[in-house]
């Protein structure tokens, strides 16, 4: 069997990647990017001791014996600064998030009090010092590193960045990605209908896979099987950080991609991977560009993206997690495996008595894109497997579209 | 305990939602949207019988006895149309994906042949009729519904749409979403630094949660605790399909949101949910707008988005899967639970011997946004729970950022 194993090819690709330096983006565009610098707090948060409840700021000594009646000297809501000091026998009405006034050392929640007709308040419970007070700096202290370089910016991280008023955020630069399809048999999306041609699905499936990672790729179109035109198109592609070339990488006499890439100075690292689908998967390095040669079959193309190109792009973007999350599932029916290559079987997933069940999406032919459109995961059949029987546990890589489910989870 | 259960509140919200009609978008912008119409194939795919291999198109009767030698009459690559008919004793050299010529009824792969010095080819194996031929229409047949209305557009679906040359796609319209924060204590992202104020994190965390669903929300800014200004801001918000109002929904005397919304004709469905964090979570319906009142604490705000608003937005967008995918994990340490509300505990997840382990992200105070920034999931503690011991199995809703992992999955 020629070509690298999948694991060796993945190592080869990831080792060749690096980040592309930092850029500053507005917080509104930072979701999904990766912090290129540590982020420090610019203030204590909360900026003062605040009430955790709606209630009354009191002196705990005053409520050692209850019930007791206190004078209400002030009304403090969030955003107000207290103007008075709470003395013995006094309290201040206080709202959640409002600053605790001087003199007070605890808060009693409104449910444990009774407003009296003379404007005073009856306190019905005793509490310890600091009861229902959130400490100044409890969330973050001025100068503290609250987010480290390398953090992926999730919605919670966006909230933290807003909390330290990071209107601009330093993140790793996105790679500029170009996609080129090759082959005289292909018809472009805006080309007139020709019954004898095959629509170029790969450019768009690859486009969407790149978009799903938060990157807007450039589609270069279709290179014809003509050496001069192909060379010109590949030269355009080599202006980008990453070039994806779909088709033309197998051994046919009309496949000009390999010699043309090499003539343009691309140093090829591998041309074959021991996998199915996706055997003719290639990877090379040019002075400015990482080049991926992708099989022309649409399913092979999408699987190769999942195994090599997605992880590479995530590595360039600065993410620490490069690979699809995997789950263990029970296989619903026998899967044959006669090859000595790792096989990626498109499966649908369902829950049965709390456990995941994986079912192959029908015909697994590498031309049958529907199997990929229906798929929720890629089941990994190890190269040495002699086939997997129904009921056995398998490893499944989760694809896009699996972040949500039909039913609410847990006993809500 | 006042307020609806989480499940009842979710039902109430989802039942009030509907899709907003269809619009046409370019395929380049269709990822993550939902098909509003069935999509039919506009051609047979493949458009003719094609070779599944690089090799020779032959007449199977000619190779009943092997080895045998055949004359090569033509060279057919993908994109070519054959010009000759294969007669007895003849064959055509053919590439993967190229049309099978008339006369031929099978393909022999190149590895099972030997080129002779006189230009003829020796065939070393016998094959059955249709060997290594992919049938015309194997992927799709003209007029066949290949994608149904209601399908979420994943990268594989984008590939299918390109295959039928759907340059424009009919999808459900996205809701227009407005976000309004309320409270005098808040400082906007571009406001000057005021040590006594609290930065408005909620607007941005909510923005990012909406963005993560593929929708670009409009931030209306901060409404002050002043009835006229608040009314004006809420009126602006009621021009949108969905209005998220952060803060001002609790019972404090300074909370004007409730009476103002009601004065503006918003019919409130609920004001409280039996959950922690997030108790003061509200939902109402105006003639043109769904209105969500969200607690002012940043963690409560994000959890309420996850449980109610995200599912509502996904429902409006036409998705069938509204809720976060859940997994079962082993709890790494005891979690107390004295409340009679459903609790959502922020957890990190790791794999240990193939099984998931959930660990709470430290202090769970509802003001501590860091717990949400670190979280990979929300562990659901049922209302009736008396606490969960280390080692018990728990249900965890997976948050953004969990689609990828550090190590490649399976035995690649």
What's the rounded Cα separation, in Å, for the pair B142 and B41? Answer: 5
* Residue A195 pLDDT: 82
Per the DSSP assignment, residues forming a β-bridge with A57 are: A92, A107
Given a cut of 90, whether residue A253 has pLDDT beyond it is no
Helix ranges, B320-388 (H): 370-374
* Residue B367 pLDDT: 64
CB A301 within 8 A of CB A286: no
What's the rounded Cα separation, in Å, for the pair B272 and A143? Answer: 38
Give the DSSP letter string of B132-156. Answer: TEEPTTSSB-TT-EEE-TT-B--HH
Alpha-carbon distances, residue B214 vs A209, B154, B219 (angstroms): 15, 13, 16
How far apart are the CA of B261 and the nearest CA of chain A, in angstroms? 21
CB A164 within 8 A of CB A263: no
Computed from CA positions of residues B275, B402, B202, B230, in that sequence, does the dihedral angle turn out positive or negative? Answer: negative
Computed from CA positions of residues A93, A97, A101, A102, in that sequence, does the dihedral angle turn out positive or negative? Answer: positive
Query: Of chain B residues 238-257, which have a CB less than 8 A from chain A?
Result: 250-254
What's the rounded Cα separation, in Å, for the pair B185 and A97? Answer: 9
CB A320 within 8 A of CB A348: no
The shortest CB-CB distance from A410 to any of B134, B202, B326 is to B326
Burial pattern B178-209, b for ≥16 Cβ within 10 A else e, equals bbbbbbebbbbbeeeeeeebbbbbbbbbbbbb
* Residue A220 pLDDT: 98
Computed from CA positions of residues B97, B139, B107, B54, in that sequence, does the dihedral angle turn out positive or negative? Answer: positive
Q: Which two tokens stand for residue A322?
A: 């490069």
| Distance, C-alpha A137 to centroid of its chain | 30
Q: What is the ipTM of this complex?
A: 0.91
Query: Of chain B residues 27-86, which have a CB less than 8 A from chain A?
Result: 27-28, 31, 42-43, 45-48, 54, 77-81
Q: Which two tokens stand for residue A329?
A: 């599932």
CB B241 within 8 A of CB B255: no
For A288, counting Cβ atoms within 10 Å of its Cβ (0-12 exposed, 13-18 middle, 19+ buried), the class is exposed
Q: Which residue has the higher pLDDT, A202 or A370?
A: A202
How would CATH label the architecture of B50-134? Beta Complex (2.170)
Alpha-carbon distances, residue A377 vs A337, A400, A401, B197, B412 (angstroms): 18, 8, 10, 47, 15
Of A4, A224, A77, A411, the C-alpha closest to B224 is A77
CB A290 within 8 A of CB A243: yes
Question: Domain B326-398 classified CATH 2.40.340.10?
Answer: yes
Query: What is the model's pTM?
Result: 0.92
Residue A370 binned pLDDT confidence (cut-offs 50, 70, 90): confident
For B406, counting Cβ atoms within 10 Å of its Cβ (0-12 exposed, 13-18 middle, 19+ buried), the class is exposed
What's the rounded Cα separation, in Å, for the pair B321 and B325? Answer: 9
Burial pattern B347-378, b for ≥16 Cβ within 10 A else e, equals bbbeeeeeebbbbbbeebbbbbbbbbbbbbbb
Q: At what angle do helices A202-212 and B155-163 cross, to 10 degrees?
A: 160
* B348 contacts chain A (CB < 8 A): no
* A204 contacts chain B (CB < 8 A): yes
* Residue B253 pLDDT: 46
* B158 contacts chain A (CB < 8 A): yes
* Domain boundaries, given as residue ranges, for chain B: 6-20+174-316, 23-44+147-172, 50-134, 326-398
What's the rounded Cα separation, in Å, for the pair B306 and B210? Answer: 10
Computed from CA positions of residues B223, B224, B225, B227, in that sequence, does the dihedral angle turn out positive or negative? Answer: negative
Can the peptide bond before residue B46 be classed as cis, meaning omega within 30 degrees of 0?
A: yes
The fourth-level CATH superfamily of domain B23-44+147-172 is Molybdopterin biosynthesis moea protein, domain 2 (3.90.105.10)
How would CATH label the architecture of A6-20+175-316? 3-Layer(aba) Sandwich (3.40)
CA nearest to B350 within chain A? A325
Backbone angles phi, psi at A272, to 5 degrees: -145, 145
* Residue A411 pLDDT: 52
Contact assignment for A368 to B200 by CB distance below 8 Å: no
Best residue in A78, A110, A135, A321 for a mutation probing chain B (most B CBs within 10 Å): A78
Contact assignment for A160 to B302 by CB distance below 8 Å: no
pLDDT tens for the 412 residues of chain B, in order = 578 999 999 999 999 999 999 999 999 999 999 999 999 999 998 889 999 999 999 999 999 999 999 999 999 987 789 999 999 999 999 988 899 999 999 999 999 999 999 999 999 999 999 999 999 988 889 999 999 999 999 999 999 999 999 999 999 999 999 999 998 889 999 999 998 888 999 999 999 999 999 999 999 999 998 889 999 999 999 999 999 999 875 555 457 888 899 999 999 999 999 999 988 899 999 999 999 999 988 999 999 999 999 999 999 999 999 999 999 999 999 999 987 899 999 999 999 988 899 999 977 666 678 889 999 999 999 999 999 999 999 999 999 999 999 888 765 5
CB A88 within 8 A of CB A132: no
**Residue whose entry in the numeric block shows the structure tokens 């993560």:** B212
DSSP strands (E only) in A110-249: 113-115, 121-123, 133-134, 145-147, 168-172, 177-182, 186-187, 198-199, 218-223, 242-246
Contact assignment for B159 to A204 by CB distance below 8 Å: yes
CATH topology for the B6-20+174-316 domain: Molybdenum Cofactor Biosythetic Enzyme; Chain A (3.40.980)
* Residue A97 pLDDT: 84
* B165 contacts chain A (CB < 8 A): yes
How would CATH label the architecture of A22-45+139-172? Alpha-Beta Complex (3.90)
**Residue whose entry in the numeric block shows the structure tokens 């007791």:** A68
Query: pLDDT, tens digit, for every residue of A258-282?
Result: 889 999 999 999 999 999 998 889 9
How far apart are the CA of B97 and the nearest CA of chain A, in angstroms? 9
Q: What is the mean pLDDT of residues A372-386?
A: 94
Best residue in B168, B329, B409 for a mutation probing chain A (most A CBs within 10 Å): B409
**Residue whose entry in the numeric block shows the structure tokens 């002779």:** B116
Given a cut of 90, whether residue A45 has pLDDT beyond it is no
Can the peptide bond before residue A256 be classed as cis, meaning omega within 30 degrees of 0?
A: no
How many C-beta atoms lie closer than 10 Å to residue A117's C-beta? Answer: 5
Burial pattern B105-138, b for ≥16 Cβ within 10 A else e, equals bbbbbbebbeeeeeeebebeebbeeebbbbebbb
Of B262, B266, B265, B220, the C-alpha closest to B244 is B220
* B18 contacts chain A (CB < 8 A): no
The CA-based diameter of chain A, rounded to the nearest angstrom, is: 99
Computed from CA positions of residues A24, A29, A35, A41, in that sequence, does the dihedral angle turn out positive or negative? Answer: positive
| DSSP3 helix / strand / coil % (chain A, rounded to 5) | 20, 30, 50
SS3 B50: strand
| Distance, C-alpha B383 to centroid of its chain | 29
Contact assignment for B5 to A412 by CB distance below 8 Å: yes
Task: Give the whole-number percent of chain A exceeding pLDDT 70.
Answer: 96
Query: pLDDT, tens digit, for every residue of A337-365?
Result: 987 899 999 999 999 988 899 999 977 66
């Amino acid at each position: 069997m020629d070509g690298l194993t999948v694991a060796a090819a993945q190592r080869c690709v990831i080792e060749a990647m690096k980040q592309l330096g930092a850029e500053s983006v507005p917080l509104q565009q930072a979701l999904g990017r990766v912090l290129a610098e540590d982020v420090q707090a610019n203030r204590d948060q909360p900026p003062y001791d605040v009430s955790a409840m709606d209630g009354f700021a009191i002196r705990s000594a005053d409520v050692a014996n209850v019930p007791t009646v206190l004078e209400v000297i002030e009304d403090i809501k969030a955003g107000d600064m207290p103007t008075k000091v709470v003395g013995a026998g006094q309290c201040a009405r206080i709202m959640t998030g409002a600053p605790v006034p001087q003199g007070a050392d605890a808060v009693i929640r409104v449910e444990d009090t009774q407003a009296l007709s003379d404007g005073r308040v009856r306190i019905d419970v005793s509490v310890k010092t600091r009861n229902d007070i959130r400490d100044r700096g409890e969330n973050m202290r001025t100068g503290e590193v609250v987010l480290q370089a390398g953090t992926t910016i999730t919605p919670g991280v966006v909230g933290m960045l807003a909390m330290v008023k990071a209107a601009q955020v330093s993140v790793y630069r996105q790679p500029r990605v170009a996609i080129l399809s090759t082959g005289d048999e292909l018809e472009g999306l805006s080309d007139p209908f020709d019954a004898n041609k095959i629509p170029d699905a790969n450019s768009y499936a690859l486009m969407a896979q790149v978009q799903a990672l938060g990157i807007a790729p450039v589609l270069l179109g279709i290179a014809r099987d003509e050496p001069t035109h192909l060379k010109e198109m590949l030269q355009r592609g080599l202006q980008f950080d990453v070039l994806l070339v779909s088709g033309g990488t197998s051994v046919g006499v009309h496949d000009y991609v390999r010699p043309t890439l090499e003539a343009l100075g691309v140093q090829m690292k591998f041309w074959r991977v021991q996998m199915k689908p996706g055997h003719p998967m290639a990877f090379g390095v040019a002075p400015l560009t990482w080049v991926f040669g992708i099989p022309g079959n649409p399913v092979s193309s999408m699987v190769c993206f999942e195994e090599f190109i997605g992880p590479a792009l995530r590595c360039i973007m600065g993410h620490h997690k490069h690979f699809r999350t995997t789950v263990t599932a029970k296989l619903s029916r026998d899967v044959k495996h006669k090859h000595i290559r790792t096989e990626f079987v498109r499966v649908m997933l369902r829950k049965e008595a709390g456990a995941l069940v994986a079912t192959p999406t029908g015909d697994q032919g590498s031309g049958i894109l529907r199997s990929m459109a229906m798929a929720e995961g890629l089941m990994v059949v190890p190269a040495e497997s002699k086939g997997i029987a129904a009921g056995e546990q398998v490893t499944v890589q989760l694809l896009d579209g699996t972040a949500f489910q039909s039913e609410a989870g847990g006993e809500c």
